[in-house]
A = this chain, B = another copy of it.
Amino acid sequence: MVKIPVVENILSANERIAAENERTLDDSGVLAVNIMSSPGAGKTSLIGSTIMALTNHTRVGVIEGDVASRIDADYIESLGVPVVQINTGSACHLDANMVQLALAQLPLHDLDLLFIENVGNLICPTAFALGERLKVMISSVPEGDDKPYKYPAMFAAVDGVVVNKIDLLPHLEFGMEGFRNLIEGLNPGVQFFQISCKNGEGIQGWLDWLLSKLTKEPLRATM
């Protein structure tokens, strides 16, 4: 009798702060994308590849969420874009309050696109809105093609699924068509991308989709 109301209160407090974040981001014309996946599926690699591809015409910022360490933030910083690291301690997901604190440290008016890299976890991040416009998950080939059966809430909640590490397909048993059908059954209309952050295959389709979602016209490079 006690526990459920407590959870509801936490979630509704989170929704309220997420709505504030959404307004803050909209006021600055920033498209925020919540990137979720299992540990090691390639969130930081995808963000890094995207930053490198968009250099010169789209201004990107990053919020890095990890239980511990700042190695991802250090890598992103080396690419020359603004980044804030959130260490969640024992928490298994980002919440809107953490993101609100991070937003205050970013030059939002100078950004077009903000990646929020969630904690590596296929379960808990789904329940916590952050104020993002798009939710994207990465599912990597070595994790196996049965993941939509096991983590349906995540696959159902997102606007896009990026299948990463397709360069490993020759070395693994992975039924891409069945995998895609499963996801589209859970989430009709979801965007589906097959990419390799390692060799760049398939990245262009992902970039085109992302750019089509920007809320302000990005700066175009003169060259």
CB distance from A211 to the nearest CB of B (A): 28
Q: Point out the residue from B147, B167, B168, B172 that lies within 8 Å of A39, measured CB to CB.
A: B147
Q: Are A153 and B90 in contact (CB under 8 A)?
A: yes
Q: Which residue of B lies closest to A167 (CB)?
A: B171
Q: Are B142 and A168 neighbours in the complex by a CB distance under 8 Å? A: yes
Within the assembled complex, what's the spacing in Å between the Cα atoms of A122 and B150? 16
A1 located at the interface, meaning its Cβ lies under 8 Å from any Cβ of chain B in the complex: no
Residues of B within 8 A of A19 (CB): none
Segment at the interface with B among A23-31, A65-73, A200-208? A65-73
A67 & B153 in contact (Cβ 8 Å cutoff): yes
Q: Which residue on chain B has the smallest CB distance to residue A89?
A: B153
A: which residues have CB within 8 A of B? 6, 38-40, 66-69, 71, 90, 92, 119-124, 127, 140, 142-144, 146-147, 149-153, 165, 167-168, 171-172
Counting from the closest, the 3 A-B pairs by CB-CB distance are: A40-B143, A142-B142, A92-B123
